Each structure stands twice: as C-alpha cells, then as structure tokens.
Chains A and B, each alone.
Chain A
Amino acid sequence: MEKPLDRASKGLELAPTLARRGSPLARGAEQLARLDATKLDDARKGDFEAHLARAELSPLRATHLEVLQLNVGKVCNQTCAHCHVDAGPEREEAMSRETAELALRVLGASDIPTLDITGGAPELNPNFEWIVCEARRLGRHVIDRCNLTVLAANPLAHLPEFFAEQRVEVVASLPHYRALNTDRQRGAGVFERSIAALRRLNALGYGVEGSGLRLVLVTNPVGAFLPAAQASAKAEWKRELARLYGVVFTDLYTITNMPISRHLEWLERSGNLERYLQTLVDAFNPLAARSVMCRTMVSVGWDGRLYDCDFNQMLELEVGDARESRPVPRHLRDFDPELLATRIVRTGRHCFGCTAGAGSSCGGATT
C-alpha cells in the first residue's frame, strides 16, 4: 500500500536534500563556520554578542516559558529551497512514541500554556494525532505548523476536521498569494494544492471571523532580502487572497529567512551570502533582540534533546551556554522548567536573522 508520505509528495516538484547529497552543509558546525568566515563591514566584527551588549542584553537570558515547541521529525513531502531543517521525503528522523510520551509528561508537569508542533511535516509523524489529543486533554493550546499540501492526500485528508474538533491553531506556510513565487520556493504544484487546502479549512470555519478557529499564514521572502512590513502586508494579502481565490485567514506572520542549511547553500551559490548577512547585521534592532522567541520557549528535537530554538536545533547547538554557573539539562528526561526558564541562550551569527528590522520569530515580527 502507498504510504501517506508517498501520496502527499505525488505531483510535487522535489529536490534532493543536503543530507542525501552528502553536502558538508548538512552539518551544523560547517554552517556556523561558513557564517563566521563571511566578511562583514561592521564595527563589532559581526559578533552577535557584541551587538547584544550594545543593547544591554548580553548574556541573553530566557525570561519564562510560554511555548514548548516539539520538532517531531525531518520527514516532509516537500523540499522547499530555503528549508532550515533540510527536510524532505528521504529523511527518516521521526519522534518515537516513547519520546512523545515523555514530552507530554513534561508538558503535563509544567504550566507551559502552548504546545507548538513542527517538523518536517509534523502530520506525517504516526504519533501526531495522539500528541495533539493528549495536549488538548491537558488543556493546552496547540499549534500545528502545517505546509498545507500534506492535508490533500489520504489518509491525512481528515485532518482539517480533526483540527477543528481539537481547536488546533493552524499556522500555514505560504510565501506568496500567487503561484509564481510560492512554487519557485516550495516546488511546482505546491501553490494550487495549498489554495485547495485553505479552502477546505475555510469551509470548516478556519480563518472566518467569530469562529475562534485561528488560521495564520506565514510568509517569508523569496530571495535575499528582508520581509515586507507585517501590518501592511497583511492588509494586502487579505485583499488579494479574497479577490483571487475567495480565501480568508486570521493573521499573517512575516518571517526572515535564516542564513542556514538550504538557504545558506542558495545564498552561497547565488553570490548573495555576504550582502545578505551584511543586510541582517546592519538592520540589528535592539527592540527586536529584546523580544526574540528563544527567551520564552524551549525547542525539543525528534530524539528528545533540548534547544533554545528550532534554528539552534538544526545547527546542533544544544541548550547550556558555557557561561552558565549550573549545568542546564539537555534532554527531556531531565527537564527542569525553572532552570530552563532563566537559561542563557546560545547565540551565533545566524541570530542576526531574528533581530533584523522588525524582528522575526515563529510568531512573525516582534516589534
């Protein structure tokens, strides 16, 4: 029988992952080294901690825990050109039931209000629905970071109804409200299937005012530049998606592309790396730095390891900055909410991606 992954990938343009190609950029340390070796014109030598110090934020500490973000694996039915996870159909890393149970025990023992589920395409993890149901049973808000196309294929086609029953917030990636740039970044065929999924979600009340079912769209630039201003982009997207496709949504998040993984490879290949990193550094915004998401979240990898954010996870930078006076637990089984809530965040040049301009986070602009 055809697997859900095969069905969800069918008809979409795919490219081999960095891991499959054996690229050195598949390793976090190599990505960090390339960023550090990039020439920059900067009085603080492109040192992120020095910029934090200028904003009186070094060392950057978490303030409290609002979100437990579970990355349930790297398996995806798409291979987007900018993917920071290097996800794709050929990846096999997936959170086991045992690790998922551990995560839910940690959530239940804490007062963290939100479980944010990401991937890969999180819906392709066999434990996905169980995780959602358990978190909802604990009374927590659940966010699913959805690529939309995965909802089109059986046996996952029931998921929109499941989301509505469980009152899951759907945060869906769509770089543009037209096909050209969406398919250029996410693969040919993605846009048409995404619009079909949005219409199904709309029909269930998602994105419809007064329904309480939040449907958030996430847009990121299709190129080496910063995203548009979130508020004016939202107004334009509302107008254009309604005009072109009759689609409605609750909110629009603009997210800056992080210069890591496949996006880093593209930046290098297209000769844009130096200019893009310079743009991020020049646009360092102390206000955005104050509100970065790592200060209020913990990111969990498919194998239960803990990170400051999903980007640090992909760069294999586990929690526990060298400046800590006490060791910070690095795995779910040793989860210590108090220590994690005030931990020092590990940083690097990639962090300029979250502090540039209006700021960027899993919740969009931060200023």
Chain B
Amino acid sequence: MDTYYDPADLAKFAQLGKHSPDLAKKFFDYYGAVFADGALSARDKALIALGAAYAVQCPYCIDAYTQETLKHGCDLEQLTEVAHVAAAIKGGAVLAHTVQTKNAAAKVGM
C-alpha cells in the first residue's frame, strides 16, 4: 500500500543536496554544529529534539531521535516523560488561547 511516510525515506534525507547543494551543505553544517556538545550536552539536545519532533509530529524525527536518545542511554520512562512535556506545552498552548475566546466574547456579549 502506498503511504506518504516510508521509514526507508529517512535515509534519503541526505539527498536534499541534489538540487541545491550549497544550501544543503549550509543546512547540514549548521545542523551538525547545533547538536554538538556545547552549553547544553549532546544528550540534552537530543531529548529536546525528540520533544520538538513530537510537537511538530514528524515521524522521521521521532524515529531518529528515539534512536539517538537511546544511544545516549535514555530509557523508555524518560522518553515518555519527553512526550508528556511536548503534550503539556501543546495542550497548554491550546488552553492559553481561551483568553482570545473570552476577549472576543466580552466584546460582543452582554
């Protein structure tokens, strides 16, 4: 069955450079530098990346950063807490917007 997402496509990400090599090189150089040990450790960055991957719901990123965080020694309980952090931020963002509803309702309501 055809699907929009195929796990085998994850490995093709590097082919991004085929039609715009200069931009792809800039992106991959930047990407590599972002995830190196810095003020935050590479492990912390991988956990943040997994949280962001859940939030943007990218199946490639979720696959890649699940594997990456496991390599950094994280266990499934820790990764599940990452998902809850993403869920809390996304859920909180929804709920915080109820203020817009209240504001709009206050303008026109009695």
Contacts of A181 in B (CB 8 A): 75
A219's partner among B43, B73, B76 (CB-CB below 8 A) is B73
Q: How far is the CA of A223 from the CA of B73 in the complex (A)?
A: 10
Interface SS, B side: helix
A232 with B41: CB separation less than 8 A: yes
Q: How far is the CA of A356 from the CA of B75 in the complex (A)?
A: 23
B25 at the interface (CB under 8 A from A): no
Contacts of B43 in A (CB 8 A): 228, 232-233, 236
B interface, CB within 8 angstroms of A? 37, 41-43, 67, 70-73, 75-78
Q: How far is the CA of A227 from the CA of B75 in the complex (A)?
A: 13
16 contacts between A and B (CB under 8 A): A181-B75, A219-B73, A221-B70, A221-B71, A225-B70, A225-B71, A227-B71, A227-B73, A228-B71, A228-B72, A232-B37, A232-B41, A232-B42, A233-B72, A235-B41, A236-B41
Q: Shortest Cβ distance from B66 into chain A, in angstroms?
A: 11
Q: How far is the CA of A225 from the CA of B66 in the complex (A)?
A: 12
A180 with B70: CB separation less than 8 A: no
Contacts of B75 in A (CB 8 A): 176, 178, 180-181, 222
Given A225-B67, A228-B43: A233 and B73 within 8 A (CB)? yes
Contacts of A180 in B (CB 8 A): 75-77
Q: Return the chain B residue nearest A223 by Cβ.
A: B70
Q: How far is the CA of A233 from the CA of B77 in the complex (A)?
A: 18
Contacts of A221 in B (CB 8 A): 70-71, 73
Q: Shortest Cβ distance from A97 into chain B, in angstroms?
A: 41
Q: Return the chain B residue nearest A232 by Cβ.
A: B41
Q: How far is the CA of A219 from the CA of B33 in the complex (A)?
A: 27
Q: Shortest Cβ distance from A74 into chain B, in angstroms?
A: 28
B76 with A176: CB separation less than 8 A: no
Most chain A beta-carbon neighbours within 10 Å: one of B42, B71, B78 = B71
Q: Return the chain A residue nearest B77 by Cβ.
A: A180
